[in-house]
Structure 1
Amino acid sequence: MTCIKFTELLLFLLLKKVSSQEPETVLRENGTSVVMGYCFGADYIVVYRSAPDGEQLLGNSSKKNLPNTPPADLQGRILMNEDENLLGMHIIELTELDSGIYRRECWQNHTVAKNHTEQLFVCKEEISPEEIHMNNEGGTEIRCNSASVGLEGNFVRWYQELHPDYKSTLLLDSSVSLEPVIKEMQGFVEARENGALLVLHKTVLQNFPQYYCVVLKGKTCLSFQNIYLPDRSESKEVFVSKGERVVLNCTGNGEHLQWETPLGQINNSSPSNNQMYISAGREPASFSLIIPVISDKHSGTYSCIAPLFEIEYSLFLCPQNTLLKKVACKGENVSLECSPGLDNHKRVQWYRRVQQETYEIIGDTNDESVIIPNDLKDRVKLSDSGLLTIFGLDIKDERMYKCVVINEFVDNLNTEDYNDEDMNEDDFSDEEHSNDIASFVKHPRSSDLSILASVVMTGTTGVSTDAIFQVLTPGPDPE
């Protein structure tokens, strides 16, 4: 095992070295445009193109009072972006003759702060991109789907993008050999069908999530295609209160998975403690982060980092939840009011519990793109004021629902928003009152009773209100 890990590390370092030595490959379709990189925070940018008799000056943004005179074939097709914080040069309406090597210099304080070289290929056709699908062993086969593959005189080049820089580097050139350019990759990459098909070992996929195949005839680029692993990165918000137990879900290969937390780095070999730990779930590939008891120091960002994806959780610490109950009959409609009298500056989100410590979002007043769960489609409505209505109640709707109110324009938490006058002592039992839990029951044939709660979340501090709906099947009326 140690030997294998050492080989993977060596492979990664070798490819990093090659990537830094070679010009970055840029692929574009005929008729499109390209930006010759950007200079961030530089004083000015200078761009050159390689030619048989030396480099040709294409543009110099420092000569603001003098016109740039690029070569005749580029006149009228070069645009300079002169934003003082983002300098760049665009070439529009690309042709095959624009293929070549370009170099840009970023100048700052009369010194070249950055020197970058790119090799541009302008191809006749861009093939539609395709996703990579891994097999059970974690490897895959990828194919170059161009109709030009296999024709006489044509050959295939494969490029890969190295994480985390994502710079294209040459992987294989079928006109030279069907072996990878780097000898150390032999055994991890196998070319078949004259280079049209690559068989990739899982070790390679852990470091190179994106590939390009390019079909050439001589120096002419006929086509290129992007073949990539789908981006599984996610970003989620979690609203919790002190004393709660929290589970942050993540699925992946535990051997190459780690968590970045406000309290440091954790992996599956880290010892368990009272702060947090990784626990394998019911599924073999589940490595959830468990926080047994939430305290002030747990608020912040948590990232589950794996070779092929990253899941980021933003954990907001809220005051103690208020538990509110409603009872309604099957088939009825029920409305939940998160907080009376909300103004337009506040944002309301609604969640429902799917597992013991897991909630899924079912509505957001500021985001219409929230995906409604299939069983709630056409049965749930969220008003601009944050009122959540569920129509045609079913037994499956009996569960915990949580609302969160976010005030993005207020800096301080306003505890005065809680209106104690609206709450009657008769609404509390002794046990519930001692735990700051309010229980409101809507009987099947009683008048509506609004849920009384007022919540505000500001910055990285939030308040959430939970509501339990107990859906009952209608029985006979009491005498």
Structure 2
Amino acid sequence: MAAVTELSFLLFALINNIHAEERIIIQKKRTSYTFNLPKNTNSCLISRSVGEEKLVLWNTSDLWSNNSSVPEHLKQRLVSTVNTSSYTILNLTHSDSGPYQEECWTEGNVTHENNITIIVCTTSIDRRGFGASLGETVNLPCKGAADNLDIHWLKQNSGYEQETWSRVFGDNMTSVMDNVRGRYQVVTNTSALRVSNVTTTDFTRYRCLVMNQQQCVSRYTVQLVPYEIIYHSVGETAVLSCTITDSTDYQPPRWMVINKTNSITHLGQQNQTVPSVDQNYSLVFSSLMLNHSGRYYCKVSKREQRYDLVVCPKFGPPAVELFSKGEEVNLKCRDWREDKVHGWFIKSHQKKGRIFSVTYQRMSRVSWSKYDNGNLVISNISVGDAGEYWCAVYDPDDYQCESTERTVLVYNEPFGIYSTFFKVRCSVLSVLLLMLCAAVVAVNLRTRRGEQLSAHTHT
């Protein structure tokens, strides 16, 4: 047990000194890991560093030498397949965690060099998807985190055939509050990873490693995917873009939709015209219907892009409600009924007219309950809360939108067009204008009467 603890300690002591191209492999306990070496090389060496000692696991030019430094308990778990240049460690344990190196030579020259760190975790928790739009801030949870355990966040690398990871905070393995770009933070109380101002490079998988005495207790995987709510009315045109493709994808993206029975339907086949997939792999609805509402996925390789399409009956004219800073605003969902499901959406002025859900954002200062009267309450309101708020009412059986109400929340500026000052000024100006008009009429009447008297005198 002491040897295991020492090796695990050395893993994280050495991990910061490994070459910048080092790749991190996360494996579950009692699984296996295979080293795949390039073919057509004279000799290859796979070694592992434990402190200052270098254990040679495989030497293809002298496999299983009598002078091998590999312990017998480890040698019994090593399997080689020379014909395919692959070497496997079976039944991984915590003691197998550590830095490894691959080196190959051809005619005396190094033609392959690879630094790998293997981290063995006791358990693995299924991944969960989280959606975010560009520019938003999202908290990715770390399930299993506790106050007495250490947390390390990793981010999946792209461009490798094998699943590899890198540290979110560079060489610093501790739960620091910022990385060099300043967009990643660890939330102190929950150990969640906060990603601010989301960009396209952030859409990948993340893993938090829950550590106990430098051993990985569990790994929890979350995937950050592009997500957007598209809100339309019947008869309009909608285009869902697929922006996750690039030149390295061998297969074109596939569109899928999850319907009310949670079954997956593949879209864009040749015999399907509504919706259709154009040359840019966008999903096009030429004339929306109520039954087009649903969750749509654009999938390619290990990535996906998600849309929630909400189609409601024709919109009526919105109501206008004024507010001043610091007030509490209560927006009513007048079509709310106990036998229906409803949701609140916001078309925010601050987010350049983008639509997002109050439920997903979990906005502070905003309270809403589908089990209450359906109202949306915004406390301590600010100028940034201005926008168009929509309450959509759904049928719980097929989750299709039955009605929608729109309320435009307008900030009542002290000297704006909705302010008391502006209204008083308009009233005063109106009175002055009426007085001016009356004076003009009086002058015109007096002038006309004088002209009539003058004409009568001459006659």
Q: TM-score interval w.r.t. the shorter chain?
A: 0.3 to 0.5
**Higher Rg:** 2
Q: TM-score, normalised by structure 1?
A: 0.43
Higher helix share: 2
Q: TM-score, normalised by structure 2?
A: 0.44
